[in-house]
A and B are shown apart, each in its own frame.
Chain A
């Protein structure tokens, strides 16, 4: 008798636990446990903690979530929603009670704002705030208003009263693209706008949904935020340098570089260092966790790392297709080496002429000891 997968899973259910919340949502017990194990791996925890994660996710304390959207392109929401299949990760966010999220909530207008206020009041200090997009500070924050209130005003209220604020994407974390020079609206990240808030930064363009889910799972399981680096990013996801986990790294060490888009080396998957890859200075788990259900990541698909997850992204990481930034005060075509060579050549020329004049010049007297 050939049993198909579903029947097999059903058997397991009966063996390993009561069908609950997850089964109701169409997630088999097996997939659920697989997910818990994957989460323990993503969080760099021992596998033995997987049951604890499962336990935490099965309890029915649904933390409320308020998802705020400011100066953003909605890319992070998109990343979350556009997964090909409903993922377990999505359902974790479902398990959270998302009380307010402009893009996905059913309520609108004053009704929606009421929902937000209700959560704020009833669950003060217990809800999680998720922020997407930068917050403009200039001119009292008039450059981004929702329901007649400025972003910074809303953020102060919502993030200030939250158990924790998770910033999704680089804009909410550090200001990102809205904060790029000349930053006309005075955009900043949440931590700068609301210094008192407990913030965990998940920069990236967009945020990797897996990391968002893992952070939420960590909070649900341990009741506290995961350990972070000096830029407020969780170490489990941002603790390793891209360059050190990159599948093209052997080509870097070997000395095999792409010189031009589409050349032989590019097609052979060689290192993108010369094409401006910023991997040697960027921290994210893209090479291992990858995007869209582990399908791929930029360097994997042949484009250098743009450094999207670092503070001051854009201003310091451009030009994307050059290794070094432009030298301030010189035109864009002047590379560091051209300028350097110019300095050296000018020195050589100046002292060369000096040498000729000196050699022709007679009658210099030295007060040295030696006599000619």
Chain B
């Protein structure tokens, strides 16, 4: 045991852009969900017509939306510029045999069919594949969000740039998609925080603190 421990070292896994975009996204999603919920089913909070409750809620929603979009774009760039743990390959484990094997192992563990907890240095394969879906959801939210915003100016640049989205969705369908996306993200967050906790306890790999500090304990020679 002592021998094992001496072989551990702290490996720098999550670089600054990964952690920064993670927490910007978390903050933005919380702000966007709270304000989005109000936009979706508002209560009468204005006392006089000169109030600006919905006005401010929309300003905050849009500002957070822009921050979110910049953060998503940065993370996508870092998937090509960052280290291997941040790289795009981490998110498509299903295209190579090793990744498929790791996904299977993780899945069996989740189903209580295996007692072996895989402990990869980067994302576990199943999580990586899930994050791909989450990033797609991010893009859907940002795309439909900007499209909803651009609707008021049919000749505007944003409206023209997002033209394919208007072909893809009906007006109301776009709203519904944007609305349901919020619930899917909330469902993901519940699962995600739980899994982070579970893996922290079971893997004993310090995954929870890694998203704050960036380091994970790793066996030498790995």
Report A's interface with B, CB cutoff 8 A: 229-230, 239, 241, 243-244, 250-257, 259, 265, 270, 273-274, 278, 280-281, 283, 307, 310, 312, 316-317, 323-325, 327, 336-337, 339-341, 343-344, 346-348, 351, 354-355, 357-358, 361, 363-372
- Taking a contact as CB atoms under 8 Å apart, the answer to whether A310 and B176 are in contact is no
- Taking a contact as CB atoms under 8 Å apart, the answer to whether B202 and A324 are in contact is no
Interchain nearest-CB distance for A182 vs B (Å): 17
- Taking a contact as CB atoms under 8 Å apart, the answer to whether A364 and B115 are in contact is yes
Does B213 lie at the interface of the complex (its beta carbon under 8 Å from any beta carbon of A)?
Answer: no
Inter-chain CA distance A307–B57, complex, in Å, is 25
Does B198 lie at the interface of the complex (its beta carbon under 8 Å from any beta carbon of A)?
Answer: yes
- Taking a contact as CB atoms under 8 Å apart, the answer to whether A367 and B183 are in contact is no
A347 proximity list for chain B (CB < 8 A): 187-188, 190-191
**Which of B109, B194, B201: most chain A CB closer than 10 A?**
B194
Does B45 lie at the interface of the complex (its beta carbon under 8 Å from any beta carbon of A)?
Answer: yes
- Taking a contact as CB atoms under 8 Å apart, the answer to whether B42 and A239 are in contact is no
- 13 more A-B residue pairs beyond the given contacts A254-B50, A344-B190, A367-B116, with a C-beta to C-beta distance below 8 A: A255-B46, A259-B44, A278-B172, A324-B40, A324-B179, A336-B179, A336-B180, A337-B41, A343-B183, A344-B187, A351-B195, A364-B115, A369-B8
- Taking a contact as CB atoms under 8 Å apart, the answer to whether A243 and B152 are in contact is yes
21 examples of A-B residue contacts, CB within 8 angstroms = A241-B152, A243-B152, A254-B46, A255-B51, A257-B43, A283-B154, A310-B171, A316-B171, A336-B176, A336-B180, A340-B182, A340-B184, A343-B184, A344-B187, A344-B190, A354-B110, A358-B202, A366-B117, A366-B203, A367-B119, A369-B218
Inter-chain CA distance A331–B32, complex, in Å, is 28
Does B48 lie at the interface of the complex (its beta carbon under 8 Å from any beta carbon of A)?
Answer: yes
Contact A254-B202, Cβ < 8 Å, known A341-B183, A344-B186, A348-B190: no
B173 proximity list for chain A (CB < 8 A): 316, 325
- Taking a contact as CB atoms under 8 Å apart, the answer to whether B179 and A254 are in contact is no
- Taking a contact as CB atoms under 8 Å apart, the answer to whether B183 and A368 are in contact is no
- Taking a contact as CB atoms under 8 Å apart, the answer to whether A366 and B46 are in contact is no
Q: Which residue of A lies closest to B41 (CB)?
A: A337
Inter-chain CA distance A323–B152, complex, in Å, is 17
Which of B119, B172, B194, B198 is within 8 Å of A325, CB to CB? Answer: B172
- Taking a contact as CB atoms under 8 Å apart, the answer to whether B186 and A254 are in contact is no
B43 proximity list for chain A (CB < 8 A): 255, 257
- Taking a contact as CB atoms under 8 Å apart, the answer to whether B40 and A364 are in contact is no
Q: Which residue of B lies closest to A259 (CB)?
A: B44
Inter-chain CA distance A62–B195, complex, in Å, is 77
Does B101 lie at the interface of the complex (its beta carbon under 8 Å from any beta carbon of A)?
Answer: no
- Taking a contact as CB atoms under 8 Å apart, the answer to whether B191 and A371 are in contact is no
Interchain nearest-CB distance for A228 vs B (Å): 11
Q: Which 7 A-B pairs have the closest CB atoms?
A: A340-B183, A255-B53, A254-B46, A255-B46, A368-B119, A253-B55, A347-B187
Does B84 lie at the interface of the complex (its beta carbon under 8 Å from any beta carbon of A)?
Answer: no
Does B54 lie at the interface of the complex (its beta carbon under 8 Å from any beta carbon of A)?
Answer: yes
- Taking a contact as CB atoms under 8 Å apart, the answer to whether A343 and B187 are in contact is yes
A251 proximity list for chain B (CB < 8 A): 46, 49
- Taking a contact as CB atoms under 8 Å apart, the answer to whether B112 and A355 are in contact is no
Inter-chain CA distance A256–B46, complex, in Å, is 5
Inter-chain CA distance A340–B182, complex, in Å, is 8
- Taking a contact as CB atoms under 8 Å apart, the answer to whether B54 and A255 are in contact is yes
Inter-chain CA distance A151–B95, complex, in Å, is 55
Does B143 lie at the interface of the complex (its beta carbon under 8 Å from any beta carbon of A)?
Answer: no
Interchain nearest-CB distance for B161 vs A (Å): 14
A344 proximity list for chain B (CB < 8 A): 183, 186-187, 190
Which of A253, A312, A348, A370 is within 8 Å of B206, CB to CB? Answer: A370
Inter-chain CA distance A259–B35, complex, in Å, is 19
Contact A365-B117, Cβ < 8 Å, known A316-B173, A371-B5: yes
Contact A265-B44, Cβ < 8 Å, known A340-B182, A344-B186: yes
**Which of A229, A255, A281, A365: most chain B CB closer than 10 A?**
A255
Inter-chain CA distance A230–B55, complex, in Å, is 29
Contact A371-B53, Cβ < 8 Å, known A337-B41, A347-B187, A364-B202: no
B54 proximity list for chain A (CB < 8 A): 252-255
How would residues 48 to 80 of chain B score, 1 for a CB under 8 Å from any chain A CB and 0 otherwise? 111111110100000000000000000000000
A239 proximity list for chain B (CB < 8 A): 154-155
B197 proximity list for chain A (CB < 8 A): 355
